[in-house]
Chain A
Amino acid sequence: MARITAGVATSHVPAIGAAVDLGKTKEDYWAPLFKGYEFSKQWIAEEKPDVIFLVYNDHATAFDMKFIPTFAIGCAERFGIADEGWGSRPVPEVIGHADLAWHMSQSIIQDDFDLTLINEMDVDHGLTVPLTLMYGQPEAWPVRVIPFAVNVVLYPPPSGRRCYNLGKAIRRAVESFDEDLNVQIWGTGGMSHQLQGPRAGLINKQFDADFMDRLVMEPNELADMPHVEYMREAGSEGVELVMWLIMRGALDDKVNELHRFYHVPASNTAVGHLILENSK
């Protein structure tokens, strides 16, 4: 059967993708950030997951104000790279796993999470920057990816509790798939950042450190944190961190923390990164 072996959390700041695409990774501003992902690149080269269930948010790219799905699963065989307003990133197209995605959509909806299903979509930096951070610049991504888009643009996003419970439904959906697949789940976005208004530039290192600790050790309690606390403490866009709880919910209650990295800043944002492994 398919199984979820590990979870990865990472920020998905667009400027990180631009830094790679424009060859700026060795510059003083960016070098410390990419150093924090060296371990991760080696680790994933050894792990060789077959599929990544990639939880991210679309940034007014595939979804405008016409349709605003709270949870949307990508069931297509492939996903194009979006032009977000400055040309498409020069990265390989994303190959999906349609059989697993369709299977999961049926299982998850029967588990009371009413998903939107997507059969045609271009993906934006929310999905491609994490792939770049973990895999660098390959000719083709060495893994299949199921995009899972969460609304965190229009308030309210789903609650932390709902996200955490959805993670558990995702796990059940993966484990009821017959093929033998090594599946990872990634939760992306965050950490503290605010992109708008006079308070833009807000960073809260203490909040971010506590969030990572609690995500690892007491996710069930962390899931009760209300949206207003994320926004007040970690900035209006810091509420993206609810997506990390989807990832965490899909893992064992007790996990091994293999890697942790934190860096300020990438553009307007604090970058956080975790690798969590289920016990073998």
Chain B
Amino acid sequence: MARPHIEPFVDRSIDFKRFTLPGFSKGMHYKMLSLDNGTGACTMTVKYETGYKQPPGMSYTEVEILLMSGTIKYGKETFRPGHYLHIPPGVAMPEMKVSRAATVLMMYNFAEPSFVESDEHHRLAMPGQLTSVNAYDDIQWQPSSGAIYPAVAPGCMLKVLKYDPLTEALSFLYCMTPKFWQDNISYHDSAEEAYHIWGTSHMMQFGELPTGGYFWRPEYINHGSFSSELGILAFGRTDSKLHNYFHWNPWTSPEENRERAAAQLARQRPQLFKWAKSPDGHNHPHDFEYPDAKNNTHYI
């Protein structure tokens, strides 16, 4: 079972709850934004009390963290708002201390939240894939036309934080300028989630999404047109390639949208499409460049 379609949801509308799962220190509070009841993967707004401490340790799943307010110290490094961490599974992080009450967006992407005290990486961990960057200060905005075709309208810009070369899954900071508008309806082959750090945007289907607004949207669901009166700052994430299918029929279903996407594939890569649809059902993708991809990513 995948995550249900949660859109729109505003985390300001609910209270924080104490987070008391095994392994985690006391002083952590959460608001559940979306949850996969099959795998336990979830996205939460998390608040750490001033003085919160967590010993060195690791999670069994990939974790992404965006610091939205407060200050967090990991070992000797102090992180300020805008700091983004992508922690691969099994990578041990140093001791964590919260010197000033902090709020983070926290994503356990492929399994339930876990924390195991350890000052060593798990034997299967790939610490070289750890990302630690201040998304506000260390990266500049780029127009999405440099990364995605067809692209969103000018005025919606990106900072790519995580790019999975096998699946093309993306995590990114994005913004809309004041008076931004884009008149089309979009859908993707990927699930998409986003959280408004600041500001209000408007989507034709779902109305206004203010500060603290969130969505988890499964693949092929219509969204847009889009606009923002005063602009927004937000975090977004997809679970595979973000391709924009634009159209203007607001009544199409996810099934119709998927059929349209497949029709585009059939037109654009007819030989691959013919092979993949394999009437006898015996064709299986195999990538000689990444023969172990099936075991090492979530994408098949």
Do A and B originate from a single complex?
no
